[in-house]
Structure 1
Amino acid sequence: MKKILTASALALLIAGCAAAPTIDSVSAAAPLTLSVDGQPVLPKLHPFHSGKLLYVPARALLEYYPVELKWDNAHKKLSLTTNSSRSVLSPGSSAMQVQYTQTDGGYKDKLEGPVLLKEGHVYVSAGTVSLLTGAEAKPAASGDTVSITSGDVSTSVRVLKEPLAIAAGSSGKVKLYTARKEGSTYKGFILEVNGRKYSFNWESPRLVSYPPELHYADVDDDGKPEAIVILSLGTGTGISQEEVHVVKPEVWKELAVPTAEKAASAAVSSRITLDNSDVVVRLELAGAAPSKVTLRLPGRAGDGGLDHFGTEAGIGAVTHYKVVNGKLKAETSVNAGIEESMGTLMLDYKAGNGGMVLDTIRFQPHDTTEQYVEKEQ
């Protein structure tokens, strides 16, 4: 599915919407209201259902998306322009023409339903909103509001009133909000615990597919639960990074937590050598339960030798945190060479030194590398 790319925000109103194909059938239910990221917008323009499709005013895009809307009254067309593309919608048509602004390329997209004109305003279906911007438009639980969740393409600085996350098992009393969203970044967060709120200056990308996680558990074993916030910092080919924050809500103190990469690098020593045609990866793991692991990669010495594999294993390309049975845990990858993952280091944290420290660490090979484990102690 092709989407318009993000650009600097422009906000021109649609004007002069004269006679053009109009809607044929609309639900006669009470007017719906519209919200974007939990805040009411465009109070005079109401979403509606036409047949089985939900429609929202095209002007809603200006509330969160960097696009210029311009109505061509002579040709009865609405253009949506960013610095990378121009899309054209025609009331009555179920197709959208897209033209790249920097090249001669373009394409035509089929829409889930026709563009509609109602009382001088252009409306598009919820599916078209998603196609254009990646945002999600759907009825809220109340049934009287259509909510647009803008995802990671917004350029507004609207403060989200709806929580980004609610901790499981907290009876809805532990919530996480963003203090502000600016472009593709969350600028600060607000943590709410039992009705009390406190702001933190953490920042993270606004990744719609990887929302923040929130847990509520006594991870330092002091008899009082902590709020644990896990933020995604980004993903890519062979890379995935997260950061974790552990907060004692009774005093709003954040506990120091060494990153999984830092803790693992301090606890693991490694050596990569060549043995005739084989590549041998040796790991020595410290911690509460020390261990040693050797992986032998048969016939791999010819794949560039140590110039390709290096002399030490790489740690931390892929890192994830989680809370399991009241314990803070992490997983971080072990690579031989730039992108060849041998397996995962499994970390358990415990209380210590005024914060959280590494307790145990163990190596878990992948299904595809388990056959290469030569010796384990």
Structure 2
Amino acid sequence: MKKILTASALALLIAGCAAAPTIDSVSATAPLTLSVDGQPVLPKLRPFYSGELMYVPARALLEYYPVELKWDNAHKKLSLTTNSSRSVLSPGSSAMQVQYTQTDGGYKDKLEGPVLLKEGHVYVSAGTVDLLTGAVAKLAASGDTVSITSGDVSTSVRVPKDPLAVAAGSSGKVKLYAARKQGSTYKGFILEVNGRKHSYNWGSPRLVSYPPELHYADVDDDGKPEAIVILSLGTGTGISQEEVHVVKPEVWKELAVPTAEKAASAAVFSTISLDQKDVLLQLEVAGSSPSKYTFRLPDRAGDGGLDHFGTHAGIGAVTYYKVADGKLKAETNVSIGMGESMGTLMLDYKAGNGGMVLGTIRFEPHDTTEQYVEKEQ
């Protein structure tokens, strides 16, 4: 099923609903309350059951999902408009018409139950909430509250009750929250340290398997711990990218940190050449302990020559950050050709120039490529 995408947040009331015919198939149950991301909302608009279907007020969407709601009293229709589409709900109908705002395309979605009008307000089923925004509406274990939890393709305009990450060793005092979710992306974060909070406009994909990491350590050796946030930017075949943010919480200042790719590229020189049927990779790593490697790949020149392998090694297709032993560290790979990884560069950062800079760097061939090292210095 298609889901509505994000738009600018607009809080419009649904006006004039009382003139529309009311559907009287609502079952009598104990009054329910509504919560969104763990917070009570809309106390006067209570969820209810109609038959076996749970219904929630359409206005609940405004509590966590930036969308414009507009009631057309003449035609008895409710429109939900985003920057990418406009959906129309009609009380009594079990279908929703969706029209793209940027093109002439559109489609009709079947709903699990009819849209209802009750006491002048439009209500939609829990399944429709999921269809529209990816959020999940369900009865809480207490039996008296319907809880809406923002889904992985919905948007939240409120700070969730539960943090995305808690720093180990911080006694629960260093936390990271999503400030806002936009589709499958985190749009901003809130960092909490010792009860104080500050917002940052960092963005990253919402990857369930790769949640944000949070650390609390004195990585710049000034005697005060920093909050270190590591965000996954995406993974794929031969690719994995992360970014790191280092914050001094006493002043909420973010320290400049060169990416592992940039820092390593400034310290590594490489050339790729052909030696008859073989491919040679020469790698020089600068730093306090400089080193040189020459890889000979036998009988590989026929794989496409330098058009395939290039003239210099690539750095940074696979990058990871971590905090260990009180230091900010990174690992980034060295590759040739179409992502053929030869080994890993290990980086340690240190304080310098108003932020963090490269401290040490060393190279380790992979177990599978070590056999091609012709000479090592």
Separation of aligned partners in 1, 2:5 and 2:298: 43
After superposition, give the CA deviation of every residue in 1:232-277 in whole Å (9 maximum; x if it has no partner): 5677897654332334556767655442112221332222223445
Cα distance, 1:215 vs structure 2:
1.6
The aligned counterpart of 1:204 is 202
Separation of aligned partners in 2, 1:92 and 1:137: 21
After superposition, give the CA deviation of every residue in 1:135-175 in whole Å (9 maximum; x if it has no partner): 4556789984734437676595x566754432234332112
Q: CA RMSD in A?
A: 4.4
The aligned counterpart of 1:231 is 231
- The answer to whether the Cα contact below 8 Å between 1:27 and 1:51 also exists between their aligned partners in 2 is no
Separation of aligned partners in 2, 1:122 and 1:204: 36
Structure 2 residue 118 is the aligned partner of structure 1 residue 118: yes
- The answer to whether the Cα contact below 8 Å between 2:348 and 2:360 also exists between their aligned partners in 1 is yes
Report the CA distance shift for 1:112/1:335 in structure 2 as closer, same or farther (over 3 A): farther
The aligned counterpart of 1:362 is 363
Amino acid of the residue matched to residue 363 of structure 2? R
Report the CA distance shift for 1:27/1:314 in structure 2 as closer, same or farther (over 3 A): farther
- The answer to whether the Cα contact below 8 Å between 1:78 and 1:88 also exists between their aligned partners in 2 is yes
Cα distance, 1:102 vs structure 2:
4.4
1:61 match: secondary structure:
helix
The aligned counterpart of 1:374 is 372
Counterpart mapping for 1:287-302 below 5 A: 290=291, 292=293, 294=295, 296=297, 299=300, 301=302
The aligned counterpart of 2:170 is 170
Query: Number of matched residues?
Result: 365
- The answer to whether the Cα contact below 8 Å between 2:180 and 2:187 also exists between their aligned partners in 1 is yes
TM-score, with normalisation over the residues of structure 1? 0.72
Structure 2 residue 80 is the aligned partner of structure 1 residue 80: yes
Structure 2 residue 344 is the aligned partner of structure 1 residue 342: no
The aligned counterpart of 1:332 is 332
Cα distance, 1:71 vs structure 2:
3.7
Cα distance, 1:216 vs structure 2:
2.6
Report the CA distance shift for 1:352/1:118 in structure 2 as closer, same or farther (over 3 A): same
Amino acid of the residue matched to residue 21 of structure 2? A
Amino acid of the residue matched to residue 266 of structure 2? A
Percent of paired sites with the same residue: 65
The aligned counterpart of 2:150 is 149
Report the CA distance shift for 1:5/1:272 in structure 2 as closer, same or farther (over 3 A): same
- The answer to whether the Cα contact below 8 Å between 1:90 and 1:115 also exists between their aligned partners in 2 is yes
After superposition, give the CA deviation of every residue in 1:299-332 in whole Å (9 maximum; x if it has no partner): 56554x4345431122224433233565533233
Cα distance, 1:105 vs structure 2:
3.1
The aligned counterpart of 1:31 is 32
1:263 match: secondary structure:
helix
Structure with higher Rg: it is 2
The aligned counterpart of 2:262 is 262
Amino acid of the residue matched to residue 203 of structure 2? P
2:205 match: secondary structure:
coil
- The answer to whether the Cα contact below 8 Å between 2:285 and 2:292 also exists between their aligned partners in 1 is yes
Separation of aligned partners in 2, 1:43 and 1:199: 29
Report the CA distance shift for 1:361/1:48 in structure 2 as closer, same or farther (over 3 A): farther
Range moving further from structure 2, 64-73 or 307-316 = 64-73
Cα distance, 1:205 vs structure 2:
1.8
- The answer to whether the Cα contact below 8 Å between 1:274 and 1:301 also exists between their aligned partners in 2 is no
Separation of aligned partners in 2, 1:249 and 1:81: 39
Separation of aligned partners in 2, 1:289 and 1:125: 65
Separation of aligned partners in 1, 2:56 and 2:371: 57
Report the CA distance shift for 1:364/1:89 in structure 2 as closer, same or farther (over 3 A): farther
Amino acid of the residue matched to residue 69 of structure 2? L
The aligned counterpart of 1:19 is 21
Cα distance, 1:294 vs structure 2:
2.3
Separation of aligned partners in 1, 2:51 and 2:299: 63
1:132 match: secondary structure:
helix
Report the CA distance shift for 1:105/1:325 in structure 2 as closer, same or farther (over 3 A): same
Separation of aligned partners in 1, 2:48 and 2:167: 34
Amino acid of the residue matched to residue 149 of structure 1? S
Range moving further from structure 2, 114-123 or 287-296 = 287-296
1:243 match: secondary structure:
strand
The runs of 5 or more residues in structure 2 that have no matched partner are none
Report the CA distance shift for 1:65/1:248 in structure 2 as closer, same or farther (over 3 A): closer
TM-score, with normalisation over the residues of structure 2? 0.72
Amino acid of the residue matched to residue 323 of structure 1? V
Cα distance, 1:374 vs structure 2:
1.6
Cα distance, 1:128 vs structure 2:
3.2
Separation of aligned partners in 2, 1:186 and 1:59: 23
Separation of aligned partners in 2, 1:141 and 1:226: 39
- The answer to whether the Cα contact below 8 Å between 2:173 and 2:193 also exists between their aligned partners in 1 is yes
Cα distance, 1:228 vs structure 2:
1.5
